[in-house]
Amino acid sequence: MKRLTAKELAAQITQFINTSYNVEVQEATNEEIFYSLAAVVNEQIKPLWFDTKNRYKSEQAKQVYYLSMEFLIGRLIKSNLLNTGMLDVANQALAELGFDAEEVYAVEHDAGLGNGGLGRLAACFLDSLASLGLPGHGYGIRYRYGLFEQRIIHGNQVELPDYWLKKPYAWEVRREDEICVVQFQGNVLMHQRNDGSLEFKYEHTDKVLAVPYDIPIIGYENETVNTLRLWSAEPITEEPNHSTDQDEFYRHLDFEHSIEQLSGFLYPDDSSYEGKELRLKQQYFLVSASIQNIMKQFKKNYRLSLKHLPEKVVIQINDTHPSLSIPELMRILMDEERLGWDEAWDITTKVFAYTNHTTLSEALETWPKQMMQSLLPRIYMIIEEINERFCQGIWFEHKELRDKIPELAVIADDQVHMARLAIVGSFSVNGVANIHTEILKKKEMKNFYSLYPERFNNKTNGITHRRWLMQVNPKLTTLINEMIGDQWVKRPKQLINLLRFQNDRNVLEEFAKVKRENKILLANFIHDQMGITIDDQSIFDVQIKRLHEYKRQLLNVFHIIYLYNELKENPNLDMTPRTFIFGAKAAPSYHLAKETIKLINTVASIINYDKSIHGKLKVIFMENYNVSLAEKIIPATDISEQISTASKEASGTGNMKLMMNGALTMGTMDGANVEIHDLVGPQNMFIFGLRADEVLHYYQHGGYNAREIYNNDDRVKRILDQLQKGEFGTQDIEFKDIYYNILYHNDPYFVLKDFEPYIEAHEYAESVYRDEYKWQQMSLINIAHSGKFSSDRTIREYVSDIWQIKPI
Ligand code: 26Y
């Protein structure tokens, strides 16, 4: 690819503006400039996209397909510019044309096709696959509405639809030539062929078109362009006969509308599962279209018999959501390709690998068998057969597990258990951090682990350092380059070379300066957006993630209330000013989560306007937390709050992003925090609270009494009483459910139990912050060790332990 100079790029943008919009470049809007720039980038990468595909074909490469109901992409403009080596040039060209680059980039609407961690992980993985030159692609759904837009009105979360496709999406290409048909419902007819084998035919099915839209996934300066293929549901066009029958015409419109609902919106829940039929339809829609498409490519490009499929195709299923792809592949192999069960099963179980992202029982998917049977009759038959053979296998070959069959069976108590289906049908099952995988093996999936020990493995999550360091924090990137050169860009573990400077006061001062500048940028942004002035010298203490009880935003708020109470008692208290920043969306039906948002906002509205505390505390709840907002907050963070109840957070990935940007972690020994701890040691972060085994022990054996803490700790009692009496809020019943949950449901996430150690950890953190040298040293040590958390490392591990693919 020929590198454009800033002049050439400016000229191309100008030409595009002139010919496509018929205006002079000076008169163009940011929007027109954005689309022109995107068009230039697209022109640049088109030949690479084409070549990449051909290379994979001519090398007969094995390819990995990442199936996911969520891809939380955010904006692509900067990432595409960075990866094509054009970011600096584009910044320059836009400046020369008289435009503010950031304003131009902000024209792009976030593609918010995910809830949180799982969806963002999928997006980071695609970036790493392409950047490592690996043949790997994503399959997902092109939801017309992404995750809802959050507004805060009178402190409450209000959800608005996220119509992200209102303006054309700059990076997608509709692929008419790859359209396929997905079938639901109907009857299955079975009859015997002459050779005695069984043939299955379907009749009276509802047919839906799956229309792919391809998004190029550009590797970092390596000429690789992979594909993210997102499916959109459309009706099969048959002209309605409206001249004769008006009713029929309206029925037809309703029908078309109902089909489009299939890819209509993303379910806004990431932790509590509900057996909604539309979601099951979405899952099968994704799975059927993707597996058909994978088979089509295999047959077209490899000309091998089907038994060689596992040598050329590996499919990673992102949680259980796409696990119907297992029976779907069986269906295609048997009903369309006429293989027998054993051969089809042998192939299938060599193709699929499954990643688990949670141990929360309320998030484990099960579908009522009647629902599955009527919506997907043939798929249900296949699942029944899988279950039958699996249970037989245990009965005869694993007698020691006979009494465990009810806990292992894929179909049990009239439900189809998707995690069990995924384990039985995959050759690999992985967790997403060491501690998470150990909990899976020892507890949650213990019986499966004893059955298939060789399948279980860990792949600690990662994040793309290109987006989450180079793109979001150019100042830090430049400074790192000045200190250790730019080898770390391709080999992020080399960030470790920064340790050379851990005792160098001048260098540490440079890092401190970068952080200060980033904090000023964020403070200005907050001022512009919310009209609130924050002290850029204060400690920026940040908790950004979905709102959930187990993530314990409540513990954070209790700490804030505690500090406020202290200050009210003693306004002259010697306290380093703090700014607490939150970003969090709650699932619309998650009452306690929404009440917590209201509490944060209520506390904020009291504290932020209380002159008596001299601005020592500020609380900022940032509306509509999403990828683009994360990009603004992360470089400016001092303290990263990772305070889940130990054992509950499978990994976390925000913890990694914040560490890489020099924030210090305030955290429990949970998820990947444990691995951060193993790298930097307890002296370079703030670890507190119950350990996972202690939490699990309490759950199993009892012995925790929240009320006892309430009765014995005045600080705790005071806070809860303030809630109960309505001191925060307009009425005394405002936060009653939070209050009741803690005192009457015995505080299921151990907020009170961890309160004291949390306060102490914060006091210690404050004392360290006063010693700027020490703080900066710890910060540098964290950045230096963060290379492990590049998703390039994660992807390399998937490649060598699971996928067995090669860079092309
Ligand atoms: C079934 C449906 C309700 C559902 C939809 C989405 C269930 C779960 C999810 C998403 C879960 C998720 O995002 N999990 C997070 O995955 C991250 C990436 O592995 C982890 O870092 C994080 O700890 C985990 O909560």
Atom of ligand 1 nearest to the CA of 653: 21
Residue pLDDT, tens place only, 448-490: 999 999 999 999 999 999 999 999 999 999 999 999 999 999 9
The position carrying tokens 């809802």 is: 148
Give yes or no: residues 388 and 486 share one domain: no
Look at residue 88 and tell me if it is in a domain: no
Q: Extract the tokens encoding 341.
A: 């069960």
| 694 contacts: CB under 8 Å, gap ≥ 6 | 646
The position carrying tokens 């682990």 is: 449
CB 96 within 8 A of CB 131: no
Q: Extract the tokens encoding 762.
A: 């914060």
* DSSP assigned state of 401: G
Give yes or no: residues 477 and 456 share one domain: no
Ligand 1 shell residues, CB under 6 Å: 115-118, 121, 269-270, 273, 357-358, 363, 365, 432, 461, 649-653, 671
Q: Extract the tokens encoding 499.
A: 């340790």
Look at residue 2 and tell me if it is in a domain: no
Q: Which long-range contacts (CB under 8 A, 24 or more apart) does 704-708 make?
A: 704/746, 704/747, 704/750, 704/753, 705/746, 706/742, 706/743, 706/746, 706/747, 706/752, 706/753, 707/743, 707/746
778 alpha carbon – ligand 1 mean position (Å): 30
Look at residue 351 and tell me if it is in a domain: yes
Look at residue 12 and tell me if it is in a domain: no
Number of domains in the chain: 2
Q: Supply the angle between the helices 6-16 and 30-58 in degrees, to the nearest 10.
A: 110
Cα end-to-end span (Å), the chain: 17
pLDDT at 346: 98
Q: Whose CA is nearest to atom 12 of ligand 1?
A: 118
Give yes or no: residues 373 and 514 share one domain: no
Rounded-to-integer distance, Cα 383 and Cα 390, Å = 10
Give yes or no: residues 773 and 656 share one domain: yes
Give yes or no: residues 418 and 476 share one domain: no
Give yes or no: residues 549 and 695 share one domain: yes
Look at residue 701 and tell me if it is in a domain: yes
pLDDT at 272: 84
Atom of ligand 1 nearest to the CA of 119: 13
Residue pLDDT, tens place only, 198-214: 899 999 999 999 999 99
Looking at residue 773, which CATH number applies to its domain? Answer: 3.40.50.2000
Atom of ligand 1 nearest to the CA of 365: 1
Nearest to 366 by CA among 316, 411, 303: 411
Q: What is the CA radius of gyration of the chain?
A: 27
122 alpha carbon – ligand 1 mean position (Å): 11
Strands (E), 562-678: 578-583, 617-622, 639-642, 664-667
Give yes or no: residues 511 and 615 share one domain: yes
pLDDT at 197: 85
Give yes or no: residues 434 and 480 share one domain: no
Look at residue 676 and tell me if it is in a domain: yes
Q: Which of 319, 544, 627 should be mutated for ligand 1, with most atoms under 8 A from CB?
A: 319
Rounded-to-integer distance, Cα 97 and Cα 103, Å = 13
Q: Extract the tokens encoding 751.
A: 């907020």
Q: Extract the tokens encoding 12.
A: 């191309």
Give yes or no: residues 457 and 469 share one domain: no
pLDDT at 240: 65
Give yes or no: residues 524 and 631 share one domain: yes
360 alpha carbon – ligand 1 mean position (Å): 10
270 alpha carbon – ligand 1 mean position (Å): 6
pLDDT at 808: 92
Spell out the alpha helix ranges (H) of 17-175.
Answer: 30-58, 77-83, 87-96, 101-105, 117-131
Rounded-to-integer distance, Cα 571 and Cα 574, Å = 9
Q: Could you tell me the CA-to-CA distances from 105 to 72, 74, 589 in Å, in that order?
A: 18, 12, 34
Rounded-to-integer distance, Cα 611 and Cα 325, Å = 59
CB 199 within 8 A of CB 334: no
pLDDT at 243: 64
Domain hosting residue 192, numbered range? 59-74+110-461+796-803
Look at residue 144 and tell me if it is in a domain: yes
Look at residue 22 and tell me if it is in a domain: no
Q: Which of 358, 645, 655 should be mutated for ligand 1, with most atoms under 8 A from CB?
A: 358
Rounded-to-integer distance, Cα 119 and Cα 123, Å = 7
Atom of ligand 1 nearest to the CA of 274: 3
Q: What are the residue ranges in the chain where pLDDT is below 70?
A: 239-243, 730-732
Give yes or no: residues 495 and 393 share one domain: no
Give yes or no: residues 441 and 532 share one domain: no
Atom of ligand 1 nearest to the CA of 432: 19
Q: Which of 70, 72, 265, 357 should be mutated for ligand 1, with most atoms under 8 A from CB?
A: 357
Active-site residues: which are they?
357, 545-546, 551, 653, 657
271 alpha carbon – ligand 1 mean position (Å): 7
480 alpha carbon – ligand 1 mean position (Å): 33
